Structure 1
Amino acid sequence: MTSADLDTQGAATTLLPGAGAEFRSWFAGRTRATTCRVTRTPLAELPGWSIDDATGNLTHDSGRFFTIEGLHVRTSYGPVGEWSQPIINQPEIGILGLLVKTVDGVPYGLVQAKMEPGNINTFQLSPTVQATRSNYTRVHRGSRTKYLEYFTEARPGSVLADVLQSEQGSWFLRKRNRNMIVQVDESVPAADGHYWMPLAELRGLLRVDGLVNMDTRTVLSCMPAAFFAADRDLPAGDMAAALIRSISGAGTPLHSAETVLSWFTAAKSRHELAVRRVPLRQLPGWHHTPDEIAHDDEKHFSIIGVSVRTDDREVSEWHQPLLYPSGQGVVAFVVKEIDGVAHLLVHARYQAGLLDAMEMGPTVQCNPGNYPGGAPAFLDYVRHAPADRVLYDTILTEEGGRFYRSQNRYLLVDAGDDVPVEVPGEFCWVTAHQLSGLLRHGYYVNVEARSLLACLHSLW
């Protein structure tokens, strides 16, 4: 494929249900005032990047940022016991930080409208700070990261959440980010591109396709429930009340915290997962062209290159590889009311790139196109659920700084009596409050489940 301009259309700011007129005006103005051009560039011609002659690994000339390498996986878990794949190796720890403050009893968060080259609609709502270590230490020789000092020099008592969390374990090798929420009492002006908005309004925007980015979702999932409980009323309806109990910790969960941890530890101990890095050039089932690295059956994903010009970032021009998924995925929690408390059906999920091999994931997390011979458990159930059972259904994108047009259909589906309390051993019924408690620690809940946990708060 020759170099070509890629579609960088702006978000439809006139179609933002739940957003106030002031926000719509700000967001529309931000998209109009910014220029952005993303151009497909062959990997072999990507400025600033080199393909190693011996391994075929793709590396940045600075030795920083990230590399594209090969991975070989062998496991006793799941239907496929062995495979090879490209993977993004980004060992440095970035910061995903949200500033919050309370004004007249209403909690606000400082968000930014951030351009990423892989975003479908160019701009999405990002946390106050979203930066890799290479970026905020200015390896790219660009401008400084705004508001960084509130997180690197946070005052004692101001930190509401501070925890290392993983990212996509199928595409990143042991990638971690520091998820932080810092409360401020003083007036902090919103810089150009930033906006103070009520957290209730921000949560409502999680129901808009492709607007709130992955990094904002994972940070919101770490928010202590007590911080924003005051801005909501108890909704009508049995399931809505059951969800409130699930979030707040009211009522009695099906399993104690100790039982959930024992189930998870047993699941991790049941299978073996052997992962080793291998030369990218030697991956069976994958082929290299000057333009891309792709799977022979056109499944899973490919690695492409892009060149970016914009006036919205710390540097105005750069070049990079992006991981391009082969199709839209499905990420879903089956939800069941048990003794008046809503429970989420969690899946103990191995992923080759996770630091500790397994984390708790949603009930369903897959790209259906990769399973032509048999659907994973509960996939058909959530995709074909009656409309009155679907609590949440929105297309959300993944991190546009590393993935190109990566979209998943996020679902919360009320199981009613269709799914029994007794479930297969790799699954467990857990309340939202129990998951939130685990998020005070790293590497228990994966990024897709964290996104859905944030989406759960958008239901009212």
Structure 2
Amino acid sequence: MPLPMPEALAAAGSPGLGRRFTVSASATDSPVTPNAEFDAWFARKRRANRFNVARIPFSDLAGWRFREGDGNLVHDSGKFFSVTGLEVNTDWQDRGSWMQPILDQPEIGILGIVVKEFDGVLHCLMQAKMEPGNPETVQLSPTVQATRSNYTGVHGGRRTTYIEYFTSSERTLLVDSLQSEQGAWFLQKRNRNMIVEVTDDVPPHDNFRWLTIGQIHRVLAQDNVVNMDTRTILSCVPFEAPNGPVRNAASPEYRESLVRSLSGRHGSLHTAGHLLAWLTDVKARHSFTRRTLPLSKIDGWSHSDDEIAHDEGKHFKVIAADVRADTREVAQWTQPLIAPVERGVAAFLARPINGVLHLLVHAKAEAGAFDMCELAPTVQCLPVNFRDLPVHRQPRYLDLVLDPAPGTLRFDAVLSEEGGRFHHADNHYRIIDVGEDVPAQDDEDYHWMTVHQLMSLVQHSRYLNVQARSLLASLHTTW
């Protein structure tokens, strides 16, 4: 049975790379793994995966210790990651100076999806994977998500399934980009985001299924199904503008302006050169210094038997967990995790400018960012961190994002962050079509950009942060 495909796309002939990805995104079902079969398989995986994640005292961590001398929480192997202290000094948005714990994981991991054509349409080999910090335990993950320590076998467990497709010198790369992770919790952490195409048969595995990008988009709009690593890879896909049927008919005007924004052929408020100059100016205009320091020496944080917590109850905690999971390379282990104190919010304001959808992007400094700041959503924060502050010191547009006007939400889902390092860390991800209610004006830290401009920048490192990439991937579900 041929794949259901819009007639206009089927007649497109031999598509280029962007068109091939767009064809896959427009195929919202597939005989390879029909939606009903996927839903039953995924529900079965969530029921069948036997796991237990329990908080434990730091003293019960096996293979981890607070190192004598600096108090940093480290692994006995010297691999994986460590929890160290960080001091930041900046004049950015009156933030001043602070100290905090931060995860230091200098090795570059692999986040990769294997793709293969079935009936002329690219399918992604996706995994039902358990992570200890996931709110829903099993989520839809890339073919491979592994740190260097994991895929080189430091943990002594089973080999990472399908890793050979990403390490082979014979691989066919369609997407390959170094991208950052959470700058508030990681110190200069990056992963290699990859999409590798194969033509030969891939050995089957019950934890994996072939899905079109359109099928992934279907479940991306659901709470806590598609994990962060999948989202960041999909954000790097160079889609062309769709010309198939509307998937989101809530607002034809929105969809038309989105297609124009994707195409890059209908103009923009700013040129690419202007945007790059703006970002360079932002970085040059502010002072920002940081230094690592012993975890035992950070001020404003209290260390108990089972957590390191902020004295005002803000930000996050460092906790320890005992994990037991039958489906992982190692069946039982202990590890530290970062646990935010509440659900965050990450949202783009969107509006048409001269008929072309633009997103309001924030140049945001974060403690662990590789190059001081990256482009972030309009609003990205834990609201609890600002509730006791005057309005002028709260994030701009926070009230609008927390209480959007009726009929303005184009994307609205709770999505979790990386469950291998963070415990129940999720954000309310939103794209809000504000129309002309928000002026098409910029200031020194905010600029309006088209989707095409963001897609061009995400092909390179150090531009879009991980929350902005999650929203960019989510935006493509609103075609």
**Same fold judged by TM-score > 0.5?**
yes
Shift of 1:233: 5.1
2:403 pairs, out of 384, 389, 401, with: 384
Match of 1:173 in 2: 187
Q: 1:34 to 1:234 in 2, by over 3 A?
A: closer
1:257 pairs, out of 242, 261, 272, with: 272
2:174 pairs, out of 146, 149, 160, with: 160
Match of 1:146 in 2: 161
Name which of structure 1's ranges 244-253 and 198-207 shifts more when overlaid on structure 2: 244-253
1:421 pairs, out of 440, 449, 456, with: 440
Which residue identity is paired with 2:189? K
Which residue identity is paired with 2:206? D
Summarize deviations over 1:133-171 as a string: whole Å, max 9, x none: 000000011111111111111536x21110110000000
Q: 1:233 to 1:187 in 2, by over 3 A?
A: farther
Summarize deviations over 1:256-301 as a string: whole Å, max 9, x none: 1111111111111110111000111111110101111111111100
For 1:212-251, what aligned pairs fall within 5 Å after superposition? 212-226=226-240, 229=242, 237-251=252-266
Distance 1:127 1:154 in 2: 20
Distance 1:270 1:137 in 2: 42
Q: 1:105 to 1:339 in 2, by over 3 A?
A: farther
In structure 2, the residue corresponding to 1:83 is in which secondary structure? strand
Calculate the aligned-residue CA RMSD, in Å. 1.7
Distance 1:231 1:176 in 2: 35
Distance 2:111 2:52 in 1: 25
2:218 pairs, out of 201, 204, 217, with: 204
Match of 1:290 in 2: 305
Match of 2:477 in 1: 458
For 1:388-427, what aligned pairs fall within 5 Å after superposition? 388-427=407-446
Summarize deviations over 1:115-147 as a string: whole Å, max 9, x none: 001011110011000000000000011111111
Task: Check conservation: 1:154, 1:182, Cα contact below 8 A.
Answer: no
Task: Check conservation: 1:36, 1:309, Cα contact below 8 A.
Answer: yes
Query: Is the aligned partner of 1:136 residue 2:116?
Result: no
Query: Is the aligned partner of 1:343 residue 2:358?
Result: yes
2:140 pairs, out of 125, 138, 148, with: 125
TM-score by length of 1: 0.93
Distance 2:467 2:304 in 1: 32
Shift of 1:78: 1.6
Match of 1:324 in 2: 339
Distance 1:185 1:340 in 2: 41
Structure 2 unaligned regions, length at least 5 = 1-27
Shift of 1:183: 1.6
Distance 1:231 1:208 in 2: 23
Task: Check conservation: 2:349, 2:378, Cα contact below 8 A.
Answer: yes
Task: Check conservation: 1:190, 1:196, Cα contact below 8 A.
Answer: no
Task: Check conservation: 2:247, 2:478, Cα contact below 8 A.
Answer: no
Structure 1 unaligned regions, length at least 5 = 1-16
Distance 1:143 1:206 in 2: 29
Distance 2:111 2:245 in 1: 26
Task: Check conservation: 2:242, 2:259, Cα contact below 8 A.
Answer: no
Shift of 1:192: 2.4
Task: Check conservation: 1:273, 1:352, Cα contact below 8 A.
Answer: no
In structure 1, the residue corresponding to 2:414 is in which secondary structure? strand
Which residue identity is paired with 1:406? A
Which residue identity is paired with 1:338? I
Query: Is the aligned partner of 1:112 residue 2:131?
Result: no
Summarize deviations over 1:86-122 as a string: whole Å, max 9, x none: 0000000000001112222332111101100101111
Shift of 1:384: 1.4
Which residue identity is paired with 1:150? Y
Match of 2:324 in 1: 309
Report the count of equivalent residues. Answer: 442
Query: Is the aligned partner of 1:100 residue 2:100?
Result: no
Distance 1:145 1:214 in 2: 19
Distance 2:47 2:474 in 1: 28
Summarize deviations over 1:351-380 as a string: whole Å, max 9, x none: 110111111111000000000113210111
Query: Is the aligned partner of 1:29 residue 2:44?
Result: yes
Shift of 1:39: 1.5
For 1:433-444, what aligned pairs fall within 5 Å after superposition? 433-444=452-463
- Identity among equivalent pairs (%): 50
Match of 2:10 in 1: none
Summarize deviations over 1:41-71 as a string: whole Å, max 9, x none: 1112211101123211100011100000000
Shift of 1:31: 2.3
2:71 pairs, out of 37, 53, 56, with: 56
Which residue identity is paired with 2:473? A
TM-score by length of 2: 0.89
